[in-house]
Amino acid sequence: MAPHESDKSLVSALQAALPPGSVHHDPLELALYGRDASLERGEVAAVCFPTTAAEVQACVRVAVAHGRAFVPRGAGTGLAGGAVPQGRPVMVVTTRMDRVLEVDVEERVAWVQPGVINLDLSRQLRPLGYHFAPDPSSQQSCSIGGNVANNSGGPHCLAYGVTSAHVLAVEVVLASGDVAELGGLDADPAGLDLRGLLVGSEGTLGIVTKVAVRITENPPDVRTLLADFVSPAEAAAAVTAIIASGVVPAAIEMMDQRITEAVEAYVHAGYPTDAGAVLLVEVDGLAGGVATEAELVSSVCRDHGARTVRVAVDEAERMLLWKGRKTAFGAIARIKPNYYLHDTVVPRTRLLEVISQVYEIAEREDLIIMNVFHAGDGNLHPLIVFDAREPGVLERVHRAGEAIVKASLAAGGVLSGEHGVGLEKRPFMRWQFTDADLDAQARVREAFDPDGVSNPGKVLPEGSRCGDIQALSAGAREKLLEEGAWV
């Protein structure tokens, strides 16, 4: 990908506005930053690496002055194409903004820059007796800024909540180049909850430059249990029964046989590879209560067909079990070189129904689909593994992904639990939201970014404003709703 002639003045202006070494425009780098961890691709004009909010402001102002949009990007672990550039914008990468600025244990708040890696924050907090509760499976590499952008979850969000429950305030550079602080450290900040609007907005309202996160005290006792079942049906029934028993574990994760086999071959954690499905359940809290809850969970699992229930005997074994779960997506490289990880949410009571449909979709499209997901809150992550060199496979992969979305919505679910909408699910937004819903969302976005220069082409489908919808002929509108995208 050679640099465009039209980019030269833009690159020169960015280099003049930022410190030396902050602006990259080598063809290889431009190609690398034209993608994230999704299947989507795009082109970028220049890649900037600011270290301060003032430098982010400079990136935004230069981009807008040259008639270009800008796209915020963190670690690039996004799976929905949220950081994939559209229309050769300026890419603003926040990975060099990686400092924990302040930790206030008394107030249980930490101010961090957006490039801080999720797991690194918890590691820094551990000696103080605290951690950052949201723990995406990519926590070894994903950044806090990306967590804020996508309102990320993770295994332990069953009990502790997703990112929005742990963000108190956000400093953001708006499309105008101005800096605003949304939210606050007060228990009930005055005014509208603009912080809540920003969390999960996928970079469409501005670029996050600083975040005040709530830190969580480490529990005094933790028990991690591994239960194995003959079939996914028994495991799914056990998930519902655990919650119905009155126990809300810190986490309930489910893996089917194919992903369990891959994980065990990769980490050797002692997962039973002959099981149709396994549950990884964690309870935490005061020692007496944890012991009681662990015994209740074990009893419920056995009552619902668990062949064995194993309790990790020490911290090393507990961490090994979690390593297996959190490296599941890396483990599948032993099977096929490429994967497409989906993300929908369905009611817990309909888990088995939708999982069964996922297996049917895999058979119909002649694909390998493994299931590994946050079973406690119904957040499905069907993992399609394939070889992109195989002729026609990408078409089958995309058809399968669309069918999974339809099955999930038909079961009363939603488009995404934590990966966001990005480019991937943008065409499907009308399957979940009404015209009025999309119009309201578009008006909010316009209030922050009237010219649509902040991460354009993401989340909202083209023509989300009611006026655009009403301008369509009846036939065109019917086709739009049927296909989920403009044609």
pLDDT digits (tens, 9 = 90+) for 403-455: 999 999 999 999 999 999 999 999 999 999 999 999 999 999 999 999 999 99
pLDDT tens sequence across 211-265: 999 999 999 999 999 999 999 999 999 999 999 999 999 999 999 999 999 999 9
Confidence tier at 337 by pLDDT (50, 70, 90) = very high
Top CATH class of 221-329 equals: alpha beta
The mean of the pLDDT values for the chain is 93
Residue 476's pLDDT is what? 44
Given a cut of 70, whether residue 72 has pLDDT beyond it is yes
Question: How distant, in Å, are the alpha carbons of 83, 98, 424, 462 from that of 87?
Answer: 13, 28, 17, 15
Confidence tier at 70 by pLDDT (50, 70, 90) = very high
Question: How distant, in Å, are the alpha carbons of 278, 305, 339, 469 from that of 308?
Answer: 10, 9, 31, 56
> Which residue type is seen at 417?
G
Report, as an integer, the average pLDDT of 288-300: 96
Within the chain, all domains assigned CATH 3.30.43.10 are found at 5-93
The H-or-E segment that residue 226 falls in is strand 221-229
| Ramachandran quadrant class, 142 (left: phi over 0; alpha: psi -120 to 50; beta: rest) | beta
% of the chain residues with pLDDT over 90: 89
pLDDT tens sequence across 364-393: 999 999 999 999 999 999 999 999 999 999
Residue 79's pLDDT is what? 94
Pair 111, 212: CB distance under 8 Å: yes
Confidence tier at 466 by pLDDT (50, 70, 90) = low
Given a cut of 90, whether residue 162 has pLDDT beyond it is yes
- Fold of the domain built from segment(s) 5-93: 3.30.43
Within the chain, all domains assigned CATH 3.30.465.10 are found at 100-217
Domain 336-410: CATH architecture, name and number where available: 2-Layer Sandwich (3.30)
Q: Which of 206, 207, 181, 209 shows the shortest CA–CA distance to 195?
A: 181
Residues 6 or more apart in contact with residue 139 via CB below 8 angstroms: 117, 118, 119, 122, 154, 326
Residue 221's pLDDT is what? 97
Residue 111's pLDDT is what? 98
Confidence tier at 3 by pLDDT (50, 70, 90) = low
> Which residue type is seen at 374?
H
Pair 439, 55: CB distance under 8 Å: no
Residue 384's pLDDT is what? 96
Confidence tier at 468 by pLDDT (50, 70, 90) = low
Domain 100-217: CATH architecture, name and number where available: 2-Layer Sandwich (3.30)
Within the chain, all domains assigned CATH 3.30.70.2740 are found at 336-410
Q: Provide the residue count of the chain.
A: 487
Confidence tier at 470 by pLDDT (50, 70, 90) = very low
* Cβ count within 10 A of residue 111: 18
Report, as an integer, the average pLDDT of 290-309: 97
φ, ψ (nearest 5 deg) of residue 161: 90, 160
What does the alpha-carbon distance between residue 211 and residue 110 come to, in Å, rounded to a whole number?
Answer: 8
The tokens of 69 are what? 């949009």
Residues 6 or more apart in contact with residue 24 via CB below 8 angstroms: 30, 46, 47, 48, 49
Confidence tier at 327 by pLDDT (50, 70, 90) = confident
The tokens of 329 are what? 């997506």
Pair 287, 222: CB distance under 8 Å: no
